Each structure stands twice: as structure tokens, then as C-alpha cells.
């Protein structure tokens, strides 16, 4: 069966990764962030969970966790099983944001594509968006051996394959502005981004239709490509990542897989 046909097949539920890494940016309101992280934790484990499990996984006080869960039940986003003392998501959460891109999100085309890529590649596949000046993971299909990426994690826009793909969606003047700002705001231990070299790298990635570079964490490499779709509200990229030695060896093959999958989305 060709890969182009494979991503139309039903996708079996994936096994949840063993750990959950919650990141809380300093500038966010804590109560709002905790509510969102609870939803992300449910999406990660994909089963009913107890108050104590959520509190332990996210390092929240049990009392405030209980109060947040009760509020989410009252608003219709969670359902409480009083006998088992567990909580689960309701279908209301699955409909949030579906109006923005119904063909890709509500009908599941892009999620199925991410899952299918992960199964065929045997690697971790990410759906990543531009969030201010960072690349942020919004969906993970974890079929690779590393399994160290969580929904919500953010990484360097100027030093990753996903970041290069996201930057490539801007015009050259905007890319220059963004890189100048990233240089100005870089950590003291980070080298300055070579802007002319980065522009050449982006131009080559545009020509090839994919980008090869660093992954979302140290020791990882990635292949990334833009998700082009007329109704997409976000700037999105698909990323296949894993151990640096393995991904760089397979980069041409993985790039072809991503491009073939994205091509199929154009017919939706």
C-alpha cells in the first residue's frame, strides 16, 4: 500500500507517553495556566484520572486542583464519576476551536496525518505553531523511542528545523526583524544568530520544500515542512524528530513522507 493512501486509514489509539512535562511561562496568570494544563494532561493520558493523579503530575496543591476540577465540571468541560472518584473530558472540549478549521480539525484530517506519519516513520511527529517568538508544540504523536516532548512545550525559533519552517512563512523583511529581536533577547550563553546565513538556510528550505535541523530538545534532530491549507488559522508546521544520528541519516526519506502527507491535505 502506498504511503499516500495510508493516511486515510483509521488510526488506532496511541499509547500515552510515560511522563508529562508541564511548562508554565513566567508571564501567564497562574489560575488560567493551570486550567489549560489540566486539559492538556487529559489529552496526554487519554483516560479517566483522579484528583491526586492530576495534582501529582502537575505539582499542584490538592485543594486548588479540586476547586479547579469542580469549576470545569460546572462549566461542562469535565464529567465527574462519583463512584470511581475520577474525571474525564466531555465532548464540549473537542468542539472548542473547531469552527476555525472544520475540515482539518473537526473531521480529524490533520490529526490522522500526524498519527499516520508517526506510525510509518516510527518516530515522534509534532504539529507546531508560531507563538510570539517561539515554536510551540500543539499536538504530539509519540511513536519514537525518545518520548520526551509534551504538548505546550516551546523551543528556539532561530535554532530549530520547526523554527526555520515557521520563519519561512514570513517575508524577508519580517524575518530580519524577528531575527534581530531574537538576537537582542537571547540568553547570555547563546551565540548570536548569523542573519545572512539563516536567510540562505530558509531560502534553501523553501526550494527543497522542507527543513532539516535541530529538534525541540538537546540531542534531537528534526525534519519540518509547512502545512499549507486555505482555511488554516495558524501558521503550522509538521515535524518528524528523534535522535540526531538517526534523523539526519533518514532526512530525505522523512521529508518525502511529510510532503506526500501534506499534499493530500490540499484535496480536503
Distance CA 62, CA 144 (A): 33
Pairing outcome for strands 236-243 and 134-142? unpaired
Q: Where are the domains of the chain?
A: 30-95, 98-265
Question: Using H for helix, E for strand and C for coil, what is the string for 146-180?
Answer: CCCCCCCCEEECCCCHHHHHHHCCCCHHHHHHHHH
pLDDT digits (tens, 9 = 90+) for 107-157: 578 888 999 999 999 999 999 988 878 898 888 888 778 777 877 788 889
Number of C-beta neighbours around residue 263 at 10 A = 12
Architecture of domain 30-95: Orthogonal Bundle (1.10)
Distance CA 94, CA 102 (A): 12
Pairing outcome for strands 211-214 and 220-226? antiparallel
First to last CA, the chain: 21
Output the CATH code of domain 98-265: 3.30.450.40
Please check whether residue 136 is in contact with residue 164, taking contact to mean a CB–CB distance below 8 angstroms.
no
Sign of CA dihedral 58, 219, 140, 144: negative
Instruction: Please count the CA atoms within 13 angstroms of the CA of 31 that sit on its side-chain side.
Output: 7
pLDDT digits (tens, 9 = 90+) for 51-87: 999 999 998 999 999 999 999 998 888 989 988 999 9
Number of C-beta neighbours around residue 84 at 10 A = 10
SS3 category, 258: helix
pLDDT digits (tens, 9 = 90+) for 220-267: 999 999 986 444 445 789 999 999 999 999 999 999 999 999 888 766
- Rounded (5°) CA angle 200-260-9: 145
pLDDT digits (tens, 9 = 90+) for 8-48: 333 334 444 445 555 556 666 778 888 989 998 998 888 99
Amino acid at each position: 500500500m502506498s504511503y499516500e493512501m495510508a493516511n486515510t486509514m483509521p488510526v488506532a489509539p496511541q499509547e500515552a507517553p510515560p511522563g508529562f512535562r508541564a511548562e508554565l511561562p513566567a508571564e501567564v496568570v497562574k489560575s488560567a495556566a493551570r486550567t489549560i494544563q489540566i486539559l492538556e494532561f487529559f489529552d496526554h493520558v487519554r483516560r479517566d484520572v483522579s484528583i491526586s493523579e492530576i495534582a501529582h503530575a502537575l505539582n499542584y496543591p490538592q485543594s486548588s486542583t479540586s476547586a479547579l476540577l469542580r469549576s470545569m465540571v460546572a462549566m461542562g468541560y469535565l464529567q465527574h464519576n462519583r463512584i470511581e472518584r475520577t474525571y474525564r473530558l466531555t465532548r464540549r472540549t473537542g468542539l472548542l476551536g473547531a469552527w476555525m478549521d472544520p475540515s482539518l480539525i473537526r473531521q480529524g484530517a490533520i490529526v490522522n496525518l500526524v498519527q499516520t506519519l508517526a506510525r510509518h516513520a516510527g518516530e515522534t511527529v509534532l504539529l507546531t505553531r508560531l507563538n510570539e517568538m517561539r515554536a510551540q508544540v500543539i499536538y504530539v504523536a509519540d511513536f519514537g523511542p525518545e518520548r520526551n516532548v509534551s504538548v505546550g512545550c516551546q523551543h528556539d525559533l532561530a535554532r530549530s528545523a520547526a523554527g526555520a519552517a515557521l520563519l519561512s512563512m514570513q517575508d524577508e523583511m519580517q524575518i530580519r526583524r524577528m531575527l534581530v529581536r531574537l538576537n537582542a533577547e537571547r540568553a547570555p550563553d547563546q551565540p548570536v544568530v548569523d542573519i545572512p546565513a539563516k536567510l540562505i538556510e530558509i531560502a534553501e528550505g523553501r526550494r527543497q520544500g522542507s527543513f532539516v535541523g535541530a529538534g525541540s530538545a538537546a540531542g534531537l534532530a528534526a525534519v519540518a515542512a509547512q502545512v499549507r491549507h486555505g482555511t488554516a488559522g495558524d501558521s503550522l508546521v509538521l515535524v518528524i524528530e528523534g535522535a540526531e544520528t538517526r534523523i539526519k541519516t533518514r532526512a530525505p526519506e522523512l521529508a518525502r513522507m511529510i510532503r506526500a502527507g501534506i499534499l493530500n491535505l490540499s484535496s480536503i
